[in-house]
Structure 1
Amino acid sequence: MKYIALALAYASTVWAAQTTLYTELPEDCPTPDAFAVAPDGTLTLSCPNYAPGGYSGALLSISKDRKIRRLPDYTIPGFSGKIRPMGLAYGPDGTLFVNSNGRVLALSFEEQTVTTEIIAHGISGPNGLRCHNGALYVTVPQMAGIKKDRNVGGVYRFQISERDVKVSNSTADKHLIFTSETKNSEKQFGLDGLAFDQKGHLYVGDFGDGTVFRLTLDRSGKVVDSAHYADLNTTGIDGMIFDKRGHLIVCGFSKNALYSVAPNGTVTTVVQYPDNDGSNGELDQPVDLVFFDGKLVISNFDLMSEPTMVNRSHGKPYTLSFLEVDWIP
């Protein structure tokens, strides 16, 4: 209860929940990021590992009994640097799609062998990723080359069957379906988290402005209507997911918070913490979330410490938190 008062300035109502430690992560996963539930029922986690320490990125597999194993490392054709996996999504045939190093990749695993195909390349920092009706939707918080004095974020759409698409990072790109300019001068970092509702609307969050857009798509994936869905009155909204009731659950990256947006637009702060080390399962810069084994599991990035953020430093332990589904308002 001691953390709840902090949330009053950021949302219309407050819910008295607390998160619990799901698991501590290994030494070589200091910055956990995105989730995807694998076809075999395990949980896949991306670890881009931007933190000091020199680690290349990694993909981890987590079983329902919370055993962790590292998936075989993938390589990127024509690239020799450290891999930095971010957004994840599984396709209907079990292919794992990954945003990594300016590319959208398709990974196929065969025991300890990984086959990598490039769906798209030349993307300016691809972040969030969702697979829906045979297409991939990718967010870019800071598009290169559109406006030099203002930040514009974008959403790209690629067919899962496409390969070697060269992205232009301009509004003329046929794969770019939506853009939005971030108004917050203190945090020029735009479109990030994304989620589909049961009716097929695509929801996209602007990290800097704390706003959520609802996009209506036609059968070809073209945006035929965009609407301002919710304003969370905070910076740093990141990963998002819909629950079975149609509530949009959103990570508050900058505020160590979790928000719930009801279908009528009412915003509730589910839980919020001050700066902490996450050792007791507190939210420690939450970046993504997933429903897994009857729980809402949340990854804690715990790296950035800018003035707009509650987090003040990076350090051990590296953690995932969880919230019982019954505690989501």
Structure 2
Amino acid sequence: MGKLVYVDATPHSVRLLQDLDCPDDMVIHEGDPEPEKLRGLIAEAETVWNGHTYMTAADLDAAPLLRRIIFLGTGASSYIDMEAALARGISIETIRGYGDRAVGQHAIALALDALRQIATMDRSIRTGHWEPLAGREFQDLTFGVVGMGGIGRATARLAAGLGFQVAGWNRSPVSDEPCPLVSLDDLLETADVISLHLALNAETSGLIDATALGRMKRDAVIVNTARAGLLDTPALVAALSENRLGHAALDVFDEEPLPVDHPLLLLPNVTVTAHAGFKTDAALRRLLAEALARVR
């Protein structure tokens, strides 16, 4: 095996890698490299691990020996110029399944936070305002899962376990259905919580647009732990601002980090987290172990 470089290790992954059997000559760069640093790191690499670093055609040109990019997750196309990689004979591998439970649990946590107004009360109390806010009981609500892959199925099972009525939608037939499947229009119109679990591609980009948002209940909660591009952000901001939608609980954004002056952060009926749905010790350990298995 040629030179292996992990270009953007986090302190979390560095800590976990210490307990795993890494190749002795593996190069681990901690932190997010600037373009010039990235090109230096991959100049002699044959295999690259990429967690969340944007790689352009120009970056790939700086790596004449590069033949494999192992993307530590599923959303490689959001970070890597796939056409440029294909043209240069570089294979792109993704890793699925490692974080299904972790992301599903995060989606549920965001939904429960919105339904019980936990973050809203926390922010209010910190400013000196004490007001117990009413919440909603789960057994009275329908939890809609959009996308019934591994994460969607995990989320559906968790929601059912908490007492929600659960309905799902998928673009194609699925086996091992943990809940009844309905049309997307029916799900949007009847669900009290709508949780997105789709891959982002040409068919799903902007799927939840102004029209889709208009089908939802005025007090519905939308949760997105998948990809920001599934949602039309300006349309979402408008719906929330005009109280045509109850709450948005979001872990992914068109721009990350999210700018402090972003319109979403000015709205009281929005809960945000920092693209952290997959970040548990157990999930990251599974991810790194799978990545190592592929280079041995």
State the TM bucket, normalised to the shorter chain.
Answer: under 0.3
Higher RCO structure (Cα 8 Å, ≥6 apart): 1
Larger Rg: 2
**TM-score, normalised on structure 2?**
0.26
Give 1 or 2: higher helix fraction: 2
